[in-house]
Amino acid sequence: MILNRHCQLIRWMRGCNRVPFNTYTFLIFFIVLLIIYHSVKNWEYQKTVLLIASYLFYSAWNPLFVLLLIFSTMVDWLLARKIFQAQTKSTKKWYLVISLAVNLGLLSYFKYGNFLLENSIILLGLFNIDFKPASLDIILPVGISFYTFQTLSYTIDTYRGKIQPSKSFLDYALYVSFFPQLVAGPIVRANDFLPQCKTPRNTSVDQFGWGLSLLTIGLFLKIIIADTILAPVVDKVYAAPEYFSSLETWTAILAFSGQIFADFSGYSTAAIGASLCLGFVLPDNFKAPYAALGFREFWQRWHISLSTWLRDYLYISLGGNRISSIRTSINLMITMLLGGLWHGASWLFVIWGGLHGLYLIIEHFITQRIKLEKPLSKMTQVLLIVLTFLIVSLTWVFFRAESLQDVITIFSNLHKSSSSHKPQFEGFELILALSTIVLLVSWHITTKKSSLETFFQKQHGIIKGLILTLMIMAIFLFASGDNRAFIYFQF
Amino acid sequence: MIWLGILAVIFSIVAFFEWHIRSLGWSPSVVDSPDLWVEQRKKASALGDKALILVGASRMQLDMDTQVLREKTKLEPIQLAIDGTSYLPVLENLANDPQITGTVLVSVNAYNMRQGIPKDTSVQWVNYYEQIKNRGIEPYRLINNKIKAWLNNSLVTHLEGAKPYTVVSKLAFTQKTAGNYLITHADRSRDADYKKVQMPNFYAARLQRHFGRAVIKDAKTFDEFFSAYQQAIKSTPVAGRPEFIKNLKHLIEVSNKIEAHGGKVIFIRFPTSKLVWEVDNKRYPKEKFWRVIAEKHPRSVNFSDYEKLKKFNAPDGSHLDYRDKKEFTTSLVKILKLK
């Protein structure tokens, strides 16, 4: 029971979505905002419009939790100033501790409260102590993991002397609550965002057009690739894995790799696009992760804003690789275990993080001992990329399965004989899902050293127009009906 | 410029499919869902005495024009009728809600008083309402649902809430068809266009369903088919009264409960025609059954008592064509005002 995934991941799969970009509500909200924002000429007023819009955007999920967002914003705004003004190192440290306690305390209560309670009951049960407290029934405030990490980075960077606290509360509040990245990232650093608040953001026509293009591409990834092509295969197999053959299970495992990428990078791309339409530049969050050669590179390309956050504020704080080889391994493992837990209150996420920690340690061990005399051949590189992708895909099973029992069933399916098995899918569904994955990985390998923007810029205007028209047409044709939440909203 | 071009192309494609699918005979229609019903049910409580609550089944949905009701009564019509199901679970649910203080119109006849059974849609939808009535809804979802309902109600490419891809792929590349004879509006009222169905086949199927069994299996002509039913109706016995009396007692109790907390309940016997009417009249003669209903609950209207209601012909024997509902509703409202 303790290893069951409980409700979080299941909720998004059943459509319990939270203020996503793929809704008519967002479309209208965004159009109205663009008109108002670009009509106002005073920069301070423009930022105020954005701040109000961001709070409205958040209220559209649950108006009460805006207060929590404002509370978190105010606490770190004040503490960062106190840290900056403090004369002694120990005073600075105390203010930082308060910031950590408040932020992590809130995160622990809202995100891990139920999880901790359930585990306490089980732990006490092992000592024959019958502890039956009332259920906490805590609602997880959407995006709390993202904005908590942003506010924490602000106070830690102030403590480390990397940044000076913002003089404008409006700028800082906008940094924390800027709606495109508020509920599912990217996790933006203060020194990336706050300087942009100092001068008016003059959105050029090209920038605006590219922003709309990114918004379209992001929605296409989410609605068409993740929800329409891949999710049906994944959902069906993971709902009752015991009924599926080896081929079907393999397809679902690979399809989930594609689904989670298209879902999460789709959201990030849409967020970056929406920001660009308002003149703000957000950092890239994904850079062809399935073209990674090894796990270190994978984490440099997957959810970059989270992995760099964990590196800068956890791994390095623990000592990083500066102490000893064993200590480096321990630090890597702690970072990845907590990184896993950040994704949700479930032991399966912890196992998933732990496995990635293990892969990183093994890779670290190998690269420390084997020094290549000449670069790897293209063929070997491709083979290693495919191997990395396969291991990453198999590890996603822990991320997606609903219980440890399902994980075991899925892995035992992988070498199950298919001869007497009654197919559960139309051949077309599997072929489409597999083709999508092959295309996705090939696309990542092809664009490993470039970017989406470079690819688009190279195209003729008519080709660009045609691609975007087809994407919008596909979105129109498939957008209605079952509305699936973006996977990463649960984090 | 690229974006203007893209928008122009997309708009033209969508407009083309809208025009093309409509020209094939299809009209926009929403899907009648538990969520849509719950939305209406919540309004019934919220509106208090400003609500004109419609309870029943398909006749209440097809024969009543909500726009006319709104204009003529100055009350807000709330369509709670559910197609092909018992209305009693809905009426009981209203009776148990003290916030129901509006006027309740109930489609009643002698044979539809049976209580709901678990598999009835009405039982399921009422249970669903009870489960979620106090649950908050995210504001964005509320807005989204309203926009979706508006789109489904306005665009044929969103027919019955289906993905436009499904609608386009299934309908746009076919020959001209009769299209959808039944349209559901966002307020759950319905229009039936009997010019779009094949007659007398449709009426024959309705008659067989209403009669409850197939009387003739190998009829060569419709004349033969209908005369077989005429014979069968003649030999049909009158229904037993004990069950009816028991059910009526319960119906009256439920209605009294609504009236006790300030509501007003009116029973309406909607028109049926041709052999469907003959089936009803043979099994449940008005003198033996409706007379008792009207005695126990004087606020009752039977279409056959009023010339202005009697003249309407139900093309399938059981429901009015949408072309008649405005006039029918106008005439009915005048009579209801006397009750």
Domain range list for chain B: 28-197+236-336, 201-234
Q: Do the Cβ atoms of A480 and B13 come within 8 Å?
A: no
Q: Render pLDDT for A198-224 as a digit per residue (tens, 0 to 9).
A: 999 888 888 999 999 999 999 999 999
> Angle at Cα B229 formed by Cα B226 and Cα B232, nearest 5°?
155
Distance (Å, rounded) from C-alpha B13 to C-alpha B162?
Answer: 18
Question: Domain check: are A226 and A162 in the same one?
Answer: no
pLDDT at B152: 83
| Residue B306 dihedral angles phi and psi, to the nearest 5° | -130, 125
Give the model confidence (pLDDT) of B86-124 as tens digits.
Answer: 889 999 999 999 999 999 999 998 887 777 677 788 999
Which residues are bridge partners to B301 per DSSP?
Answer: B268
Are A212 and A192 within one domain?
no
Q: How many other CB atoms are there within 10 angstroms of residue A44's CB atom? A: 13
Those of residues 414-473 in A touching chain B at CB distance below 8 A are 461, 464-465, 468-469, 472-473
Cβ separation A481–B161 shorter than 8 A: yes
Round to whole Å and give the CA distance between A254 and A231.
11
> Domain boundary residue among A175, A200, A225?
A200
Q: Is the same domain home to A158 and A257?
A: no
Helix (H) or strand (E) holding B51: strand B51-55
A212 plus A169 within the same structural domain:
no
Residues in chain A with CB shorter than 8 Å from the CB of B163 are 477-481
CA gap A3, A21 in Å, rounded: 32
Judging by beta carbons within 10 Å of its beta carbon (0-12, 13-18, 19+), is residue A207 exposed, middle or buried?
A: middle
* Facing residue for A481 by CB, picked from B6, B14, B163: B163
Q: Residue B116: what pLDDT?
A: 64
Extract the tokens encoding A201.
């953001």
Quick check: A169 pLDDT over 60?
yes
Of A179, A200, A221, the domain-final residue: A200
The pLDDT value given to residue A453 = 83
Q: Can you say whether the dihedral through the CA atoms of B307, B309, B313, B317 is positive or negative?
A: negative
Collapsing DSSP to helix, strand or coil, B52 comes out as strand
pLDDT at position B176 over 90: no
SS3 content of chain A, % helix, strand, coil (to 5): 70, 0, 30
Query: Domain for residue A491, yes or no?
Result: no
Which chain B residue is nearest to residue A65, measuring alpha carbons?
B138
User: Which one of A200, A234, A265 terminates a domain?
Assistant: A200
Nearest CA in chain B to A464: B2
Q: Are B271 and B320 in contact (CB under 8 A)?
A: yes
Question: What residues contact A218, with CB distance under 8 A and at least 6 apart?
Answer: A21, A265, A266, A267, A268, A269, A270, A271, A272, A273
A445-451 average pLDDT score: 87
Which helix or strand (DSSP H or E) is residue A11 part of? helix A8-13
A31-35, A68-72, A97-101, A133-137: range with lowest mean pLDDT = A133-137
Minimum Cα–Cα distance from B6: chain A residue? A469
Does the pLDDT of residue A13 top 70, yes or no? Answer: no
Kindly state whether A403 is in contact with chain B, defined as any CB-CB distance less than 8 angstroms: no
Q: State the total domains in chain A.
A: 2
Q: Give, in degrees to the nearest 5, the angle at Cα A210 between A209 and A213.
A: 90
Query: Does A382 lie in the same domain as A305?
Result: yes
Chain B residue whose CA is closest to A224: B165
Question: Any catalytic annotation for residue A38?
Answer: no
Best to test chain A binding among B21, B35, B138 (most A CBs inside 10 Å): B138
Pairing, β B190-192 against β B182-184: antiparallel
- Please check whether residues A154 and A195 belong to one and the same domain: yes
Of A59, A464, A478, the CB nearest to B139: A59
A236 and A185 in one domain?
no
- State the pLDDT at residue A5: 47
Residue B54: in which H helix or E strand, if any? Answer: strand B51-55
Is A209 touching B (CB cutoff 8 A)?
Answer: yes
Distances A231 to A73, A237, A302 between C-alpha atoms, Å = 36, 10, 20
Supply the range of the domain harboring residue A66.
Answer: 8-200
A2 found inside a domain: no
Say which of B10, B139, B161 has its CB closest to residue A469: B10
In a domain, A3, yes or no: no
Which DSSP string corresponds to B264-286?
Answer: EEEEEE----HHHHHHHHHHS-T
CA pair distance A485, A227, nearest whole angstrom: 9
> Do A24 and A127 sit in the same domain of this protein?
yes
Selecting among A6, A343, A356, A444, the annotated active-site residue is A343
Q: Which two tokens stand for residue A409?
A: 């069933």
**What is the predicted pLDDT for the residue at A420?**
64
| CA dihedral sign, ordered A99, A103, A106, A109 | negative
> In 3D, which of A74, A221, A214, A64 has the Cα closest to residue A147?
A74
Q: From A108, A201, A111, A103, select the one nearest A154 (Cα to Cα).
A: A103
Whether residues A476 and B168 touch (CB distance < 8 A) is answered with no
Residues ≥6 apart with Cβ < 8 Å to A132: A121
In a domain, A455, yes or no: yes
Alpha carbon of B130: minimum distance to chain A alpha carbons (Å):
20
Residue A363 lies in a domain: yes
CA B113 to each of CA A71, A445, B208, B241, B246: distance values in angstroms, whole numbers, following the listed order: 58, 69, 21, 12, 9
Beta bridge partners of B54: B79, B105
Model pLDDT, residue A488: 42
- Search chain A and give the residue with CA nearest B13: A473
Residue B76 pLDDT > 90: yes
> Tokens in use for A423?
């197919």
Section A264-284 average pLDDT: 93
Most confident of the ranges A129-133, B154-158, B230-234, B324-328: B324-328
Task: Give me the residue label for tokens 């970056």.
Answer: A272
- Report the share of chain A in percent with pLDDT over 70: 92
Determine contact, residues A333/A357, Cβ cutoff 8 Å: yes
- Quote the crossing angle between the two packed helices A65-85 and A169-177, to the nearest 10°: 130
Residue A225 lies in a domain: yes
pLDDT at A418: 62
Of A212, A465, A478, the CB nearest to B5: A465
Tokens standing for A82? 């106190």
B138 and A60 within 8 Å at the Cβ level: the answer is yes
Q: Please list every residue in chain A whose beta carbon sits closer than 8 Å to the beta carbon of residue B3.
A: 209, 212
Q: How far is A203 from chain B (nearest CA, A)?
A: 16
Q: Which residues pair with B300 in a beta bridge?
A: B267
Per-residue confidence (pLDDT) for residue A75, from 0 to 100: 94
HEC per residue, B76-140: EEEECCCCCCCCHHHHHHHHCCCCCCCEEEEECCCCCCCCCCCCCHHHHHHHHHHHHCCCCCCHH
Q: What's the average model confidence in pLDDT over A56-71? A: 87
Cα–Cα–Cα angle for A263, A265, A269, rounded to 5 degrees: 120
Tell me the average pLDDT across A348-375: 89
Q: What percent of chain B has pLDDT over 90?
A: 52
The answer to whether the beta carbons of residues B36 and B61 sit under 8 Å apart is no
CA distance B213 to A381: 73
Q: What residues of B are in contact with residue A477 (Cβ under 8 Å)?
A: 163-165, 168
Q: How far apart are CA A280 and CA A67, in angstroms?
A: 25
Indicate whether A459 belongs to any domain.
Answer: yes
- Do B188 and B61 touch, CB atoms closer than 8 A? yes
Greater model confidence, B117 or A483 = B117
Query: How far lies A250's CA from each of A9, A102, A129, A298, B311, in Å?
Result: 21, 44, 43, 21, 67
Distance between CA atoms of B52 and B206, rounded to whole angstroms? 30
Whether pLDDT at B171 is above 90: no
Average pLDDT over every residue of A116-122: 80
Straight-line distance from the first to the last Cα atom of chain A, in angstroms, rounded to the nearest whole number: 21
- pLDDT attached to residue A143: 83
Using a CB-CB distance cutoff of 8 angstroms, which residues of chain A are in contact with residue B165? Answer: 477-478
* Assigned CATH class of B28-197+236-336: alpha beta
Task: Specify the pLDDT at position A1.
Answer: 41
Contact yes or no for A476 and B10 at CB 8 A = yes
Examine the domain organization and report whether A194 and A221 are in the same domain.
no
Tell me the pLDDT band of A274, cut-offs 50, 70 and 90: very high
**The pLDDT value given to residue A483:** 40
| Residue type, position A489, single letter | F
A299 found inside a domain = yes
Largest CA distance in chain B: 77
Q: Does residue A222 sit in the same domain as residue A190?
A: no
pLDDT in tens, B277-318: 999 989 999 888 999 999 999 999 999 999 999 999 999 999
**In whole angstroms, what is the distance from residue B157 CA to residue B155 CA?**
5
* Nearest Cβ partner for A480 among B5, B141, B164: B164
**B147 closest CB neighbour out of A25, A59, A63:** A25
Highest mean pLDDT among A57-61, A285-289, B219-223: A285-289
How far is Cα B160 from Cα A331, in angstroms, rounded to an integer?
A: 56
* Mean pLDDT score, B173-201: 86
Same domain, A164 and A237: no
Determine the pLDDT at residue A11. 45
